[in-house]
């Protein structure tokens, strides 16, 4: 709808001139032209470059040093062209005179003061005075005061009426052709009179005083003319007296009636009256123009399969336009008189939107499109009792808005009497997409889904919208985020609606992570009772798999700083890594001098510091010798791709599956019915993640798991006497070098796995199993690629370890598979 599109318009227009600080020469300025706008951002080109776009640059109205033309002369500042074009002209003074002749300068009040950077719609403040055209006479105007501005939809009160007459208030969108700036009527030789039918201002002295008061108020607080820059000039009409046409009835609901042109005021306005053939007919007429919504050519209803109401007292059984025109001796208005009647603007049946209740203009309702015919939409208003719940509107109507408009402007939306759809069950797990794709970097784009930023967070229009959120690339990135990928992100995201800006920003951070799924999990746990949140679904792609999770995102602009900081703390990075504050040089947190360990301790999950043993304590004043730190091993997190072919499970595989029903809080693939009951497990989560791979996909672990695996790779190992002495369940070494297990490895604990590894020639790796909580079930799931990737082992040690694991697998199949 055009009402929504207009909210995205900037108060600045392409072609406007202004004076801009010259970066190459401090304390000097030069004239620049606005090429295009994007919210509070302006694309500028210095005068002298002509059509050359290579030096175009963006600037923010709220932060850049911009001034109207003539400011330098008034303040004794130097005008100097940029160095790149300095030699292009010999006389720059003469050039500027020619360049600025007939040009329009950017208004000073939009470059400084309280109106700086504001959108057009926000220039209209409570108390502003305009002139409103009379409904029944296009030559009459009367001042009105703005009582409320809701996203450009104005609540207006006639001058002379007090608060007690609020029932007479009028609601109009600020682009309505009936609204004009104060002084319009006088400039165009029109009449200023109270509105027809308003008997409340009955005496001449009363309305004369009201007129003077309104004009005085308008002069004290003049409305910037930029408000009316988007008003459409009315085209000339070609209607003549006596012409017949069809029209959506302004008097009766859901009716399209024959009407006649009864008066032509001028080349812009004409009057139509409802055809009524009865003797006691009361005239119903309305003023129209060439673009009036609802006027249609003769036989439009027949061509579009819509019923046409017969004129009252029409004698014929079926209404026929040819007979009717012949009997009345009139002619049909030509099709050329009407706007494009076929334009539907991509509306379709069953679409949802928000619409004004025509019976209560202050009320905006949830509405569903029930029918589309040419330019007309049939709407059903939810929450409005029948039969008043249906209406017909034009596709260009300024009384229809996209879903979310009321929320963005903090205006109450009338809810449906019955829910539109059944509330879906919320699942707090990360679910994979069927389509698998490689991880792609996310590019930020301007979030223009609501009016752009530079809104005052305290105002109704700006409460749910925010300015830019900056990505401060120099700040500490923490253990989860890849510093190189962070450096590739744009410097800022926004302005726009809070939830949309944050959703895009979080998506960028997730894709900049070493393991996006882990960051997604951390964000899923983020919560604060004081926040006004909205749940959004975010995605993470990692190694060919896509995960989803529901994240709570704040909706209010004043909660964004706290939200950003807590997200940073959750990800163990600098609290200013992304923030509404731009860090230009040195971070206030001084994060650049902190080591990763210290920074994690202060801002991330505080970890316990191990106490030194008696032999490690140092005397006072002595320097402690640096201890060698073992390289941190990667946490095991295995996920198997699901195969489409059916698999025959052996009893042993069924045993593996039955032991792997536990869930964990890690992001995971979920191919099962999400409504089924999940059994929680007290087992360590990394081991659980391994076991879950069996449930999610093919339980075939590796060729070595098969009972038919070749024995040619078996090697003899050292004696297991140490293991036999320490282990409660002692395997017995056969002559052939194979293990004989006295206990099913599916039941081994983490300590028993560590004891077994200690008894082999891979004892140096036993600590990894303890670190990563690998029990018997997880041990049987390990393969060579998994060991290499998650334990960070080179090929040689990995093969040696896998050989020992393979011996356990073979013994398991021989002894317990059947």
Distances (CA, A) of 660 to 563, 683, 695: 37, 10, 7
7-17 confidence digits (pLDDT tens): 445 567 788 89
**What pLDDT score does 201 carry?**
52
Residue 668 belongs to a domain? no
For residues 90 and 127, state if they share a domain.
no
Residue 802 belongs to a domain? yes
Q: In 10 A of CB 490, how many CB atoms?
A: 14
For residues 266 and 307, state if they share a domain.
yes
Given 74, 92, 111, the domain boundary residue is: 111
Q: In 10 A of CB 153, how many CB atoms?
A: 24
Asked if 808 and 739 count as a contact pair (C-beta separation under 8 A), the reply is: yes
Residue 664 belongs to a domain? no
Between residues 590 and 632, the one the model is more confident about: 590
Asked if 802 and 712 count as a contact pair (C-beta separation under 8 A), the reply is: no
Q: In 10 A of CB 177, how many CB atoms?
A: 16
Asked if 365 and 414 count as a contact pair (C-beta separation under 8 A), the reply is: yes
- DSSP three-state, residue 134: coil
Q: In 10 A of CB 30, how many CB atoms?
A: 22
For residues 51 and 70, state if they share a domain.
yes
User: Into how many domains does the chain fold?
Assistant: 6
For residues 107 and 127, state if they share a domain.
no
For residues 99 and 215, state if they share a domain.
no
The candidate with the shortest Cα–Cα distance to 762, out of 727, 793, 728, 736, is 793
Q: In 10 A of CB 326, how many CB atoms?
A: 10
The CATH number for 806's domain is 1.10.150.50
| pLDDT at residue 390 greater than cutoff 70 | yes
Q: Where are the alpha helices (DSSP H) in 251-384?
A: 300-304, 321-328
Mean pLDDT over residues 129-133, rounded? 92
For residues 476 and 595, state if they share a domain.
yes
- DSSP three-state, residue 696: helix
Distances (CA, A) of 418 to 404, 422, 562: 19, 10, 36
Asked if 181 and 32 count as a contact pair (C-beta separation under 8 A), the reply is: no
HEC-encoded secondary structure of 712-772: CCCCCCCCCHHHHHHCCCCCEECCCCCEECCCCHHHCCHHHHHHHHHCCCCHHHHHHHHHC
| Helices and strands in the chain, H and E counts | 21, 33
Least confident of 416-420, 549-553, 623-627: 623-627
Q: What is the DSSP letter of 704?
A: G
Report the DSSP pairing between strands 140-150 and 191-192: parallel
Q: ω into residue 495 within 30 of 0, thus cis?
A: yes
**What pLDDT score does 462 carry?**
58
Question: What is the band of 33 on the pLDDT scale with cuts at 50, 70, 90?
Answer: very high
- DSSP three-state, residue 807: helix
**What pLDDT score does 517 carry?**
86
Could you tell me which residues are beta bridge partners of residue 392? 378
**What pLDDT score does 232 carry?**
80
What's the whole-number average pLDDT of the chain?
75
Report the DSSP pairing between strands 191-192 and 78-79: unpaired
Could you tell me which residues are beta bridge partners of residue 156? 146, 170
Q: Which residues does 21 contact at the CB level (< 8 Å), separation at least 6?
A: 28, 29, 64, 65
Is residue 467 left, alpha or beta, with left meaning phi > 0 and alpha meaning psi from -120 to 50? beta
Q: Where are the alpha helices (DSSP H) in 393-482?
A: 405-408
**What pLDDT score does 93 carry?**
86
Given 297, 314, 337, the domain boundary residue is: 337
The CATH number for 367's domain is 2.30.30.140
61-83 confidence digits (pLDDT tens): 888 888 888 888 888 888 888 88
Q: What is the dihedral of CA 615, 621, 625, 629, to 10 degrees?
A: 80
For residues 466 and 593, state if they share a domain.
yes
Mean pLDDT over residues 472-477, rounded? 87
Asked if 429 and 668 count as a contact pair (C-beta separation under 8 A), the reply is: yes
**What pLDDT score does 619 carry?**
36
538-571 confidence digits (pLDDT tens): 888 777 778 888 888 998 888 999 999 999 998 8
Q: What is the DSSP letter of 817?
A: -
∠ CA 142-146-150, rounded to 5°: 135
Distances (CA, A) of 391 to 95, 252, 302, 348, 740: 59, 10, 20, 16, 82
**What pLDDT score does 369 carry?**
93
Asked if 448 and 8 count as a contact pair (C-beta separation under 8 A), the reply is: yes
The answer to whether the Cα torsion of 37, 38, 39, 42 is positive or negative is negative
Asked if 271 and 263 count as a contact pair (C-beta separation under 8 A), the reply is: yes
- Return the half-sphere exposure (C-beta side, CA atoms, 13 A cut-off) of residue 729: 17
In angstroms, the first-to-last Cα distance of the chain is 70
Q: What distance in Å separates the CA atoms of residue 104 and residue 483, rounded to the nearest whole number?
A: 46
Question: What is the band of 616 on the pLDDT scale with cuts at 50, 70, 90?
Answer: very low
pTM over 0.85: no
Length of the chain: 818
For residues 136 and 255, state if they share a domain.
no
Q: What distance in Å separates the CA atoms of residue 268 and residue 71, rounded to the nearest whole number?
A: 41
Q: What distance in Å separates the CA atoms of residue 341 and residue 333, rounded to the nearest whole number?
A: 14
Q: What are phi and psi of 364, to 5 degrees?
A: -115, 130
Q: What is the DSSP letter of 481?
A: B
498-552 confidence digits (pLDDT tens): 888 898 889 888 988 888 888 888 888 888 888 888 888 888 877 777 888 888 8
Residue 688 belongs to a domain? no
The candidate with the shortest Cα–Cα distance to 437, out of 537, 511, 523, is 511
DSSP track, 256-283 = EEEEEEEEE-SSSEEEEEE-B-STTPPP
Residue 305 belongs to a domain? yes
Residue 157 belongs to a domain? yes
Asked if 308 and 344 count as a contact pair (C-beta separation under 8 A), the reply is: no
| pLDDT at residue 479 greater than cutoff 70 | yes
The answer to whether the Cα torsion of 38, 44, 49, 54 is positive or negative is negative
| pLDDT at residue 440 greater than cutoff 60 | no
Q: What distance in Å separates the CA atoms of residue 680 and residue 674, rounded to the nearest whole number?
A: 14
**What pLDDT score does 10 carry?**
59
Q: Which residues does 443 contact at the CB level (< 8 Å), separation at least 6?
A: 490
Q: What is the dihedral of CA 801, 805, 810, 814, to 10 degrees?
A: 150
Q: Which residues does 316 contact at the CB level (< 8 Å), separation at least 6?
A: 310, 323
Could you tell me which residues are beta bridge partners of residue 578? 471
Question: What is the band of 644 on the pLDDT scale with cuts at 50, 70, 90?
Answer: very low
For residues 145 and 256, state if they share a domain.
no
- DSSP three-state, residue 804: helix
Residue 91 belongs to a domain? yes
Q: Which helix (H) or strand (E) holds 133?
A: strand 129-133
For residues 507 and 537, state if they share a domain.
yes
**Residue span of the structural domain in which 62 resides:** 3-111
Residue 329 belongs to a domain? yes
Q: In 10 A of CB 462, how many CB atoms?
A: 24
- Return the half-sphere exposure (C-beta side, CA atoms, 13 A cut-off) of residue 407: 16
The answer to whether the Cα torsion of 222, 224, 227, 229 is positive or negative is positive
For residues 490 and 536, state if they share a domain.
yes
743-792 confidence digits (pLDDT tens): 899 888 989 999 999 988 898 888 888 888 888 888 888 888 888 877 88
Q: What distance in Å separates the CA atoms of residue 447 and residue 466, rounded to the nearest whole number?
A: 10
**What pLDDT score does 297 carry?**
93
Given 337, 368, 401, the domain boundary residue is: 337
Q: In 10 A of CB 561, how many CB atoms?
A: 16
Q: ω into residue 416 within 30 of 0, thus cis?
A: no
206-261 confidence digits (pLDDT tens): 778 888 888 888 888 788 777 777 778 889 999 999 999 999 998 887 899 999 99
Q: What distance in Å separates the CA atoms of residue 299 and residue 314, rounded to the nearest whole number?
A: 17
The CATH number for 466's domain is 3.90.1150.190
For residues 388 and 473, state if they share a domain.
no
């Amino acid at each position: 709808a055009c009402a929504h599109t207009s909210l995205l318009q900037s108060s600045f227009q392409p072609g406007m001139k202004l004076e801009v600080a010259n970066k190459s020469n401090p304390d000097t300025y030069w004239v620049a032209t606005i090429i295009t706008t994007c919210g509070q951002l302006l694309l500028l080109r210095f005068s002298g470059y002509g059509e050359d776009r290579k030096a175009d640059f963006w600037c923010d109205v709220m932060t850049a040093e911009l001034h109207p033309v003539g400011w330098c002369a008034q303040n004794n500042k130097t005008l100097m062209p940029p160095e790149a074009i300095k030699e292009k002209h010999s006389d720059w003074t003469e050039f500027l005179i020619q360049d600025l002749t007939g040009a329009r300068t950017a208004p000073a009040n939009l470059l400084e003061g309280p109106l700086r950077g504001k959108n057009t719609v926000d220039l209209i403040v409570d108390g502003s005075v305009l002139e409103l055209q009379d409904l029944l006479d296009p030559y009459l105007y009367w001042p009105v005061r703005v009582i409320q501005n809701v996203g450009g939809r104005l609540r207006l009160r006639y001058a002379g009426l007090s608060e007690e007459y609020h029932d007479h208030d009028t609601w109009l969108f600020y682009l309505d052709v009936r609204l004009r700036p104060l002084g319009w009527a006088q400039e165009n030789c029109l009449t200023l009179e109270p509105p027809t039918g308003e008997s409340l201002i009955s005496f001449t002295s009363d309305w004369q005083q009201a007129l003077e008061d309104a004009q005085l108020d308008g002069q004290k607080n003049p409305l910037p003319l930029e408000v009316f820059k988007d008003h459409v000039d009315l085209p000339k009409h070609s209607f003549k007296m006596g012409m017949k046409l069809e029209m959506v009835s302004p008097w009766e609901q859901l009716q399209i009636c024959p009407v006649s042109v009864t008066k032509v005021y001028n080349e812009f306005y004409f009057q139509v009256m409802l055809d009524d053939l009865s003797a006691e007919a009361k005239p119903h007429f309305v003023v129209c123009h060439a673009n009036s919504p609802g006027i249609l050519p003769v036989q439009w209803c027949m061509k579009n399969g819509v019923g046409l109401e017969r004129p009252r007292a029409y004698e014929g059984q079926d209404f026929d336009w040819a007979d009717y025109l012949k009997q009345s001796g009139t002619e049909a208005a030509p099709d050329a008189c009407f706007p494009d009647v076929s334009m539907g603007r991509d509306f379709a049946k069953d679409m949802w939107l928000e619409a004004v209740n025509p019976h209560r203009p202050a009320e905006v309702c949830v509405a569903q499109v029930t029918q589309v015919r040419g330019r007309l939409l049939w709407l059903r208003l939810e929450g409005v009792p029948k039969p008043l719940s249906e209406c017909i509107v034009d596709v260009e109507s300024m009384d229809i808005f996209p879903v979310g408009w009321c929320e963005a402007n903090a205006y109450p939306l009338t809810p449906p009497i019955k829910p539109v759809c059944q509330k879906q069950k919320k699942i707090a797990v990360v679910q994979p997409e069927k389509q698998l794709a490689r991880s792609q970097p996310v590019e930020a784009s301007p979030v223009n889904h609501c009016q752009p930023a530079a809104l005052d967070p305290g105002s109704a229009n700006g409460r749910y919208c925010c300015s830019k959120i900056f990505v401060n690339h120099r700040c500490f990135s923490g253990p989860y985020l890849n510093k190189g990928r962070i450096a590739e992100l744009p410097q800022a995201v926004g302005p726009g609606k809070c939830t949309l800006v944050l959703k895009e920003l979080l998506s960028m951070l997730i894709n900049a992570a070493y393991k996006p799924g882990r960051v997604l999990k951390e964000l899923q746990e983020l919560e604060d009772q004081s926040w006004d949140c909205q749940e959004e679904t975010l995605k993470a792609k990692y190694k060919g798999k896509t995960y989803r999770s529901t994240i709570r995102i704040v909706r209010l602009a004043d909660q964004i700083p706290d939200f950003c900081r807590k997200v940073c703390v959750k990800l163990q990075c600098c609290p200013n890594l992304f923030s509404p504050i731009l860090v230009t040089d040195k971070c206030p947190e001084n994060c650049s001098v902190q080591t990763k360990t210290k920074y994690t301790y202060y801002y991330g999950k505080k970890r316990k510091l191990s106490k030194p043993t008696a032999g490690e304590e140092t005397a006072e004043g002595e320097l402690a010798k640096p201890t060698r730190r073992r390289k941190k091993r990667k946490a095991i997190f295995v996920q198997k791709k699901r195969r489409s072919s059916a698999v025959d499970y052996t009893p042993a595989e069924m045993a593996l599956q039955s032991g792997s029903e536990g869930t964990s809080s890690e992001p995971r693939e979920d191919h099962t019915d999400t409504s089924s009951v999940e059994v929680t497990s007290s087992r360590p989560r990394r081991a659980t993640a391994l076991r879950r791979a069996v449930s999610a996909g093919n339980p075939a672990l590796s060729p070595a798991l098969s009972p038919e695996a070749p024995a040619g790779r078996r090697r003899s190992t050292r004696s297991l006497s140490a293991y036999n002495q320490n282990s409660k369940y002692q395997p017995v070494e056969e002559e052939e070098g194979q293990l004989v297990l006295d206990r099913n490895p599916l039941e081994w604990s983490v300590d028993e796995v560590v004891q077994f590894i200690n008894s082999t020639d891979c004892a140096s790796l036993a600590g990894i199993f303890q670190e990563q909580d690998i029990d018997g079930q997880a041990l049987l799931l390990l393969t060579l690629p998994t060991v290499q990737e998650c334990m960070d082992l080179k090929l040689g040690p990995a093969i040696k370890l896998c050989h020992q694991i393979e011996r356990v697998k073979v013994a398991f199949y021989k002894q317990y598979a059947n």
